[in-house]
Amino acid sequence: MRGKTLSPIMTSPAPPGARADSSPDMDDMLRRTRMDDQRRSQRPALPACVPGLYVQHRDRGFVAHITASEVAFSTVRGLTVSVPMAYGAGQATADTAEWLVSELLGNAVRACGDHVPLVVEVYVTGRSVQVNVHDPAADLLPHRSAVAMDSETAESGRGLGLLDMLAPGWDVVSSPVGKQIRCHIDAK
């Protein structure tokens, strides 16, 4: 059949505002694409990728693939404050997230050594912030101590005790790269 075009078959009435020459599915897809483009343009700026630091957007946050270094840690700490705040987290919650990221990155270097590859995820969930840090040492699990943080018999720093105070319920799970420590910070 030359010269004839097939018109779309509508099985239900067109939604209000739909043009006669479009399908509801196409209109919905175009609307969602425009919304995604608008959201992308409102995302906070992330640093350019450099050796040892690869940062990407994720829904309401970021994920950073890093090699442990002073520069990478400093960049990730800064993003841990600025990105959640750009998505609506408060200053106190973002500051707590920054402290947790610093503590977890330091623990990973102490456990795994210099230049360890790490993955850091920070994202907003409602008004709260989720922090996940992955390291390759699946067999070196952090453990809570029964010794008080201010005790003279404490074997090391007070990091895990403070973690318990600031992110109660933090946990450790296996991950494709070793283990993942997950912390949920309620809005303050």
Structural domain boundaries in the chain? 53-185
In angstroms, the CA 53 to CA 50 distance is 5
The pTM (predicted TM-score) of the whole model is 0.73
Question: Once rounded to an integer, what is the mean pLDDT over residues 8-23?
Answer: 55
pLDDT tens for 57-91 read: 999 999 999 999 999 999 999 999 999 999 999 99
Cross-strand pairs, 171: 182
The CATH class given to the 53-185 domain equals alpha beta
Chain position carrying tokens 């500051």: 95
On average, the pLDDT of the chain sits at 82
What's the pLDDT score for residue 162?
Answer: 81
Residue 101 · residue 80 · CB < 8 Å: yes
